[in-house]
Amino acid sequence: MSVPLAVNYPAPIPVGHLVEVTEYQDVRPEKERHGFDMAEAFRHPVLLDVDTGIRYMNHVHVSVGPNGGNSFQPKGYPLTPRQNLPVSRVWRGRVLACALVSVEGLSTQHTTLDLDPLPPA
């Protein structure tokens, strides 16, 4: 059975590629788990295209605070997520379908993947 996965960043991973999905824990205290939480790492899994070695991330995985980049001056983000992000789960799946959608007004793209999960190793 396939698993749909949506992320709020572009991740054009070709059909047939093996993807490693890293999901993060919500470490906020229970009493603070309300309101806007889309700037939290647990909302956005990190995707690693195992076949190409390309890692796809949201800026919350690599920096603390607001997005520090702009369209004129690239920010030298790290190649891997911050080490202090507690991992909830890591799993792998094969890409069955991939779609990128341009989100007008946000000047970005969102990605929807359909993954065929692999059994744990």
Around Cβ 94, how many Cβ atoms within 10 Å?
A: 17
Say how far residue 78 (Cα) sits from the centre of its chain: 15
Mean pLDDT per block of 10 residues along the chain (121 residues) reads 93 98 82 63 89 92 67 77 92 98 83 95 71
pLDDT the model gives residue 36: 58
Q: CA 87 → CA 16, 61, 69, 90, 97, distances in Å?
A: 26, 11, 25, 8, 26
Q: What pLDDT, on the 0 to 100 scale, is given for residue 27?
A: 73
Tell me the whole-structure pTM to 2 decimals. 0.84
CA distance 115 to 3: 5
Contact 116, 94 (CB under 8 A): yes
Identify the domain containing residue 87 by its residue range: 3-117
Domain count, the chain: 1
Query: What pLDDT, on the 0 to 100 scale, is given for residue 61?
Result: 75
Question: Cβ distance 49 to 56 under 8 Å?
Answer: yes
